[in-house]
């Protein structure tokens, strides 16, 4: 049999089918790889390759089926949605008290600090603009309130030092105050020394160990001089007329009382000084009491009608005056605007209560004269 040339012709017929198997198997592997990768594999492979890719096995020889016009979808794997980003939730603030250098503050659930009039666990507090709880007497929008050392508001009767205050159910200070001013009787040592004795009452209230007789030494006095039946003396605004330890003594006004007070206080090394509060109305007088400041006022004995005597004084400036009769000086220690009453620490009659309207009438009739220490 002659030897086959290296350039033998291509096989035909059944030989072509046998040579086609490696190519068919390679095509089926590619289809399987595409299926394993989860892709949509659109193919125009011959039907035999499609069958192998579907896992049928080796295709039989035969005429090829015409390919469909539409591509064949082999498989589709579900695609997972991307994970949602993690959002870190903020932890809510726990409300509560905190003690800081400036005082106590209360943190609210939103993290801020309470400001103004605030209820906390059934009690009421007042916080300033920086959130610090206020204590003591505090001026709020609708009146003065009192807050204890823990910051809680108080109602009813509250005594702070020597001052007694009254607060309504809403905590607002009622229109009254009562101070524990001691009563010092001017007699028998100073029968006409009501001014200096009233000053001694106030100083004792403030804690100074002074007596009315000892304080009289600080009071500037001027005797009355008689010439040709005419009385010449000092202005009561500048000195006490006469001698308060005698029945011939008269009186003085605010100036000499302030001088006596300041001289004594300076000698004690105290920074306190007396102040002229003349002209103060009922509300201003009450405000002094609510601040713990008793008020020395000029009235008449037992609030009798204001009157002048028939005597004539010639003052240093040449002015001729008729001195008051029945003039008296007392300490206003209490006032109740709602009840319409006042309370006096009186050097002659002791502590007693009077009608507010009558007091204001006589007080104004005597020139609305008043002195406080503060």
Please write the tens of the pLDDT for every residue from 28-52: 444 444 444 443 434 444 444 444 4
As a whole number, mean pLDDT of residues 175-204 equals 97
Quick check: 83 pLDDT over 80?
Answer: no
Q: Which alpha helices (DSSP H) does the chain contain, by range?
A: 14-36, 47-53, 194-205, 212-215, 254-267, 282-290, 356-365
pLDDT of residue 165: 84
Fold held by 194-373: Cathepsin B; Chain A (3.90.70)
Query: Contact 201/331 with Cβ under 8 angstroms?
Result: yes
As a whole number, mean pLDDT of residues 355-374 equals 97
Fold held by 96-154: left handed beta-beta-3-solenoid (2.10.270)
pLDDT of residue 59: 43
Q: Which of 4-8, 86-90, 120-124, 262-266 has the lowest mean pLDDT?
A: 4-8
**Closest by CA position to 214, among listed 142, 264, 248:** 264
**pLDDT (tens digit per residue) in 228-259:** 889 999 999 999 999 999 999 999 999 999 99
Between the CA of residue 358 and those of 64, 95, 354, 362, what are the distances in Å?
Answer: 132, 54, 8, 6
pLDDT of residue 288: 95
Confidence of residue 162 (pLDDT cuts 50, 70, 90): confident
Q: Which of 168-177, 248-257, 344-353 has the lowest mean pLDDT?
A: 168-177
Cα dihedral 102, 106, 112, 116, rounded to 10, equals -80
- The model's pTM is 0.66
Confidence of residue 86 (pLDDT cuts 50, 70, 90): low
**Closest by CA position to 372, among listed 205, 248, 226:** 205
Q: How many residues does the chain have?
A: 374
pLDDT of residue 1: 42
pLDDT of residue 164: 80
Quick check: 301 pLDDT over 50?
Answer: yes
Quick check: 215 pLDDT over 60?
Answer: yes
Q: Which of 81-85, 186-190, 286-290 has the lowest mean pLDDT?
A: 81-85
As a whole number, mean pLDDT of residues 318-345 equals 97
Confidence of residue 3 (pLDDT cuts 50, 70, 90): very low
pLDDT of residue 91: 63
**pLDDT (tens digit per residue) in 94-132:** 889 999 988 999 999 999 999 999 999 999 999 999 999
Tokens of 126: 């007042």
pLDDT of residue 205: 97
Place of tokens 């009315």: 212
Quick check: 8 pLDDT over 60?
Answer: no
As a whole number, mean pLDDT of residues 17-34 equals 42
Which residue intervals of the chain bear CATH 2.10.270.10?
96-154
As a whole number, mean pLDDT of residues 303-313 equals 96
Partners of residue 300 on adjacent β-strands: 327
**Closest by CA position to 200, among listed 184, 217, 218, 221:** 184
pLDDT of residue 197: 98
Which residue intervals of the chain bear CATH 3.90.70.10?
194-373
Quick check: 54 pLDDT over 50?
Answer: no
Quick check: 160 pLDDT over 90?
Answer: no
């Amino acid at each position: 049999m002659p030897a086959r040339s290296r350039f033998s012709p291509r096989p035909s017929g059944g030989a072509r089918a046998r040579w086609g198997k490696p190519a068919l198997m390679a095509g089926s592997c590619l289809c399987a790889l595409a299926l394993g990768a989860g892709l949509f594999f659109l193919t125009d492979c011959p039907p035999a390759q499609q069958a192998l890719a579907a896992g049928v096995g080796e295709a039989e020889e035969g005429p090829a089926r015409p390919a469909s016009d539409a591509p064949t979808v082999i498989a589709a794997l579900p695609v997972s949605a991307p994970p949602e980003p993690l959002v870190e939730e903020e932890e809510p603030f726990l409300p509560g008290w905190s003690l800081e250098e400036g005082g106590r503050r209360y943190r609210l659930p939103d993290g801020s600090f309470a400001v103004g009039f605030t209820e906390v666990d059934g009690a009421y507090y007042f916080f300033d603009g920086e959130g610090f709880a206020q204590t003591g007497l505090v001026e709020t929008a609708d009146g003065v309130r009192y807050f204890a050392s823990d910051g809680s508001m108080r109602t009813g009767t509250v005594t702070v030092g020597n001052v007694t205050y009254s607060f309504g159910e809403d905590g607002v200070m009622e229109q009254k105050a009562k101070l524990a001013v001691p009563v010092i009787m001017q007699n028998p040592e100073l029968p006409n020394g009501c001014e200096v004795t009233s000053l001694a009452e106030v100083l004792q209230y403030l804690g100074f160990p002074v007596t009315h007789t000892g304080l009289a030494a600080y009071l500037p006095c001027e005797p009355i001089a008689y010439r040709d039946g005419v009385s010449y003396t000092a202005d009561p605004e500048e000195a006490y007329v006469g001698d308060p330890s005698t029945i011939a003594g008269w009186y003085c006004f605010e100036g000499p009382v302030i001088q006596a007070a300041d001289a004594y206080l300076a000698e004690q090394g105290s920074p306190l000084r007396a102040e002229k509060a003349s002209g103060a109305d009922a509300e201003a007088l009450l405000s002094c009491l609510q601040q713990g400041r008793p008020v020395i006022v000029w009235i008449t004995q037992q609030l009798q009608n204001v009157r002048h005597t028939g005597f004539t004084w010639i003052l240093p400036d040449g002015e001729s005056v008729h001195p008051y009769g029945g003039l008296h000086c007392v300490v206003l220690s209490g006032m109740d605007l709602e009840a319409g009453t006042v309370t006096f620490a009186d050097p002659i009659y002791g502590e007693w209560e009077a009608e507010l309207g009558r007091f204001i009438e006589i007080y104004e009739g005597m020139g609305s004269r008043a002195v406080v220490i503060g």
